[in-house]
Structure 1
Amino acid sequence: MATPPKPTKRRTYDAAFRAEALRLASESRSTQAAARALNINVKLLYKWQKAVQTPVAAALGASLDPTTAAELRQLRATNRRQAQELEILKKAIAIFSKTDEQ
């Protein structure tokens, strides 16, 4: 009697690892080289890249030159940071307005 094979568990990756992998892939000479450096499947890295692309960026595809793509990434990062700062300020206003009423 042969024993059944053991079930394999999939590795899970947190958001920080994914973000770092995507950053490394964008700065690397190729996505395959980045996947090898991180010891992950290249198809998984391609899947993550496709998931983070917006429909506009996906439609533009390779038509973006590297400087425009870098500027776009920088602007998106700035936009995310400013949105977070705005949320913090909204919460602070709510907290301070409650203490003034009491």
Structure 2
Amino acid sequence: MQLKNKPINRRKYDATFKADVLKMIANGQSVAYVAQALGISEALIYKWKQRTKGEEKHHSSGQASEMLIENQRLLQRINQLETEREILKKALAIISRQT
């Protein structure tokens, strides 16, 4: 008996379809029900769910670090402006005395 090397046809699902499936689960449908209704495996749904969680974690941690960098930049700018303000106040006091 000879086995033929037959390519496995894998279906590809777009991001919208995946998001809709995950919304169905988030709205209370069981993974088993959604998988059976749509003709996809439960394992695939769980895989999409895990990937989405991982992306959310990565995205939120990236936002936090960006915010920390921005806060640091803004604090430096505040210090610079406060220094400039003090210099201008002293200059104004000197000019006021001379007139």
* TM-score, normalised by the number of residues in structure 1: 0.47
Which has the larger Rg?
Answer: 2
Work out which structure has the larger RCO, using CA pairs closer than 8 Å and 6 or more positions apart in sequence. 2
